[in-house]
């Protein structure tokens, strides 16, 4: 059984938590897209054991499960090496025994991060609100081809040196000409860093496409960890306020080399409300007391950048769209505990634009930013759900909320979250 876990909103749905739980019965955990823009939080047995992962698949915390970073990822070696060192300090060893990296993955370089900073600053108020991790510029160079550096380039330092010098000199010219930048990057310094990265990473570099096909042929249980969310997908998300990869389920085949039919089950993760970090339309946003309550109760601050997340009601129109795009089989709904204390709960069930009800999630930014949400209103609940250990113990108002969303989406909600911990994820019985 090969399973893919993807976010159905604008990221941070709690994918890391689910991947960590499901990794217990996986033979391999695979991260296939995005880069260090992702921040996946895993909270083990008690709240003391909290891990924030950016590049390592969440399965790495099990210690003994092979984890794979495939060609679709853009690799910031500095972040990866720091992440590995951080885990080592906490007793988790990461080496070529449990981590393999595709030589086809692209390297995030210093100039990508610099370009991200310069271009966001130049956009001013109209900026995307990126994580400034160099993600977009790195994927741009992948498409440009002759200005790209791949992980496999670390295997031949002579060739790499030539590439680094040629590309850094070109980037310096662009930064000066376009952004009046007066602090050119030093190619030698960048190359020296690459040499250090190569020493760390070399043993882990492999052909992950071959590896995954072998595992598939052997009937291994592969668990794929999506990053970002469907609404941040480059093609299908809320363009241009998106990330630079196909972060929805459609991205998996290109990002791994496995055909779509290799995946048996797509699990979509949502929160019981909606959050978004960065710019862009957000129809059900509650820039008011409700949003503030959700932010504080759910600790809605970015795992990667620490930015406060924008908060709003659950939007069944955008999640319904994400379910369709991803061919999602089942949904996990996180953060039911966070909604406690709100007198009433709203779920957006349709969009209206210029007085007309829309049939489908709109493709145009100008439409989406002006839609009005039609809501159904449900009863709130005051109970503290965090101590509850079985779905049947949850208050009726909670079950009604879950069932209402399930009926609107038309696919089963199979698990719900009542807290950040492993044990705070409850199975939803379906007869």
Residue ranges binding ligand GDP (CB under 6 A): 7, 11-17, 39-41, 43, 298, 303, 334-335, 337-338, 417-420, 424
Which of Mg ion, ligand GDP, ligand IMO, none is residue 105 near (CB under 5 to 8 Å by kind)?
A: none
Work out what residue 129 binds among ligand GDP, ligand IMO, Mg ion, none; the CB cut-off runs from 5 to 8 Å by kind: ligand IMO
DSSP for 156-187 reads: -HHHHHHHHHHHHHHHHHHHHHHH-------H
Residue 39 or 281 with smaller CB distance to ligand IMO: 39
Dihedrals phi, psi of 34, to nearest 5 degrees: 70, -165
Catalytic choice (12, 20, 153, 315): 12
Candidate list 211, 227, 371, 402; residue touching ligand IMO; CB under 6 A: 227
Minimum distance from residue 47 beta carbon to ligand GDP (Å):
9
Residues 102-121, mask of contacts with Mg ion (x by CB under 5 A):
--------------------
DSSP letter for 304, please: T
- Is 417 a binding residue for ligand IMO by CB under 6 A? The answer is no
Structure-token match 């495939």, residue found: 70
- Decide if residue 136 touches ligand IMO (CB under 6 A): yes
Residue 108 DSSP label: P
Instruction: Pick one of 39, 136, 226, 421: the residue that binds Mg ion (CB under 5 A).
Output: 39
Q: How many other CB atoms are found less than 10 A from the CB of residue 387?
A: 11
Nearest CA to 387 out of 421, 348, 344 is that of 421
To ligand IMO, the closest distance from the beta carbon of 232 in angstroms equals: 5
Choose the one of ligand IMO, ligand GDP, Mg ion, none that binds residue 17, judging by a C-beta under 5 to 8 angstroms depending on kind: ligand GDP
Q: Catalytic annotation on 12?
A: yes
Which tokens sit at 31?
Answer: 């991260």
Residue 29 CB-half CA count within 13 A: 28
| Spatial CA neighbour of 314 closest among 290, 362, 349 | 349
C-beta closer to ligand IMO: residue 129 or 308: 129
Between 187 and 283, whose beta carbon lies closer to ligand IMO? 283
Distance CA 90, CA 279 (A): 36
Query: Do residues 265 and 330 touch, judged by C-beta distance below 8 A?
Result: yes
Q: Are 287 and 350 in contact (CB under 8 A)?
A: no
- How near is the Cβ of 404 to ligand IMO at its closest, in Å? 25
Residue nearest to ligand GDP (CB): 417
Q: Which residues contact 220 (CB under 8 A, 6 or more apart)?
A: 27, 28
**CB 131 to ligand IMO: min, Å:** 3
137: preceding bond cis by omega (within 30 degrees): no
Site residues for Mg ion, 264-323, by CB under 5 A, read 303
User: To 10 degrees, what angle do helices 157-179 and 110-123 make?
Assistant: 20
Question: Smaller CB distance to Mg ion: residue 297 or 303?
Answer: 303
417 interacts with, out of ligand GDP, ligand IMO, Mg ion, none, CB within 5 to 8 A per kind: ligand GDP
List 100's β-bridge partners, or say none: 68
Active-site option among 20, 27, 40, 393: 40
From 26, 38, 77, 84, residue interacting with ligand IMO (rule: CB under 6 A): 38
Q: If you compute the radius of gyration of the chain from its CA atoms, what whole number of angstroms results?
A: 22
Q: Tell me the CA distances in angstroms from 149 to 81, 102, 155, 206, 375, one per residue in order.
A: 18, 13, 12, 16, 48
Q: Quickly list DSSP for 258-269.
A: --GGG--EEEEE
Given the rule CB under 5 A, which residues bind Mg ion? 12, 39, 303
Q: Give me the active site residues, please.
A: 12, 40
Given the rule CB under 6 A, which residues bind ligand IMO? 7, 10-12, 37-40, 128-131, 133, 135-136, 227-229, 232, 241, 243-244, 277-278, 303
């Amino acid at each position: 059984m090969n399973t893919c876990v993807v976010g159905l909103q604008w990221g941070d749905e709690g994918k890391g938590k689910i991947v960590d739980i499901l990794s217990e019965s996986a033979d391999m955990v695979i991260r296939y897209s995005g880069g260090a823009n992702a921040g996946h939080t895993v909270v083990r047995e008690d709240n003391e054991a909290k891990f924030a992962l950016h590049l390592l698949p969440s399965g790495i915390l099990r210690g003994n499960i092979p984890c794979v970073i495939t060609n679709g990822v853009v690799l910031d070696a500095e972040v990866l090496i720091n992440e590995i060192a951080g885990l080592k300090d906490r007793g988790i060893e990461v080496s070529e025994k449990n981590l393999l990296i595709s030589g086809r993955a692209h390297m995030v370089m210093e100039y990508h991060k610099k370009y991200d900073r310069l271009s966001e600053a130049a956009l001013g108020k109209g900026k995307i609100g990126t994580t400034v991790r160099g993600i977009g510029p790195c994927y741009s160079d992948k498409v440009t081809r002759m200005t790209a550096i791949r992980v496999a380039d670390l295997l031949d330092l002579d060739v790499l040196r030539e590439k680094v010098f040629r590309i850094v000199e070109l980037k310096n010219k662009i930064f000066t000409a376009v952004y009046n930048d007066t602090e050119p990057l030093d190619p030698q310094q960048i190359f020296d860093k690459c040499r250090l990265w190569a020493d760390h990473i070399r043993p882990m570099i492999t052909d992950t496409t071959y590896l995954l096909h072998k595992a598939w042929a052997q009937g291994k249980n592969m668990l794929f960890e999506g990053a970002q969310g469907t609404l941040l997908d480059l093609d299908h998300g809320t363009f241009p306020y998106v990330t630079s990869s196909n972060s929805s389920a459609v991205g998996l085949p290109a990002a791994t080399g496995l055909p779509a039919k290799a995946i048996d089950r797509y699990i979509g993760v949502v929160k019981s409300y909606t959050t978004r970090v960065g710019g862009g339309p957000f129809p059900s946003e509650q820039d008011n007391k409700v949003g503030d309550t959700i932010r504080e109760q759910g600790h809605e601050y970015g795992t990667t950048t620490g930015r406060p997340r924008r908060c709003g009601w659950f939007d069944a129109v955008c999640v319904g769209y994400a379910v369709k795009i991803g061919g999602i089989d089942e949904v996990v709904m996180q953060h039911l505990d966070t909604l406690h204390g709100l007198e009433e709960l709203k779920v957006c069930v349709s969009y209206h634009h210029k007085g007309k009800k829309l049939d489908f999630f709109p493709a145009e930014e100008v439409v989406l930013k002006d839609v009005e949400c039609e809501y159904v209103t449900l009863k709130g609940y005051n109970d503290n759900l965090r101590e509850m250990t079985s779905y049947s113990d949850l208050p009726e108002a909670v079950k009604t909320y879950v069932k209402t969303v399930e009926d609107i989406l038309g696919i089963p909600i199979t698990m719900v979250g009542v807290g950040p911990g492993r044990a705070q994820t409850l199975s939803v019985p379906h007869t």
